[in-house]
Amino acid sequence: MSHSQNPLPDEAAELLSQAERSSADSVHSTAAPRAFMIVLGIVSAAIISLYGVIDTALWHWSPVLFAPLIAWYALWARQRPKRRPALKHSGKYIAVMLLMMLALQFSNFWMPQTWLFAILKFLALVAVFTGALWIMRRETIKSRIKDGNEQAI
């Protein structure tokens, strides 16, 4: 074999790290934007924390606030290549998803009667939701990179 087919160890390491960076950049470019995840957490926390404080009929219409988020994500996703889903989620992803569901369930036991308590509930839910969504996004990216590196060419 010629020398061009067998690169030196330093060249091989550089090519491998370049391929790793390219893979990571590709995965990051197809993941949902961080700002979207933060706004999603804030809107979800706001809707859940307002139950019992505002009129029930108005609260039932509050999921309409997700319409701009859906439009934002749809327009953003059209400009990006279709992302490949992670084949297997990590244990951290599942644990954080369960924590988020548990926090949502426990928040149903806390029915604020005043605006002050609604704001406190909102802040607690924002912290849990945005933190959980952030970790779930990070773990999905890690899983997709790992899965992509393990695929046969």
CB contact at 8 A, 93 and 139: yes
Interatomic CA distance for residues 131 and 62, integer angstroms: 23
Q: Three-state DSSP class for 132?
A: helix
Neighbours of 131 (CB within 10 A): 15
Interatomic CA distance for residues 30 and 93, integer angstroms: 18
Q: Three-state DSSP class for 41?
A: helix
pTM for the full predicted model:
0.69
Phi-psi label, residue 52: left if phi above 0, alpha if psi -120 to 50, beta otherwise: left
Over residues 126-147, the pLDDT tens digits come to 999 999 998 988 888 888 777 7
Over residues 66-76, the pLDDT tens digits come to 999 889 888 87
Task: Enter the DSSP assignment of 114.
Answer: S
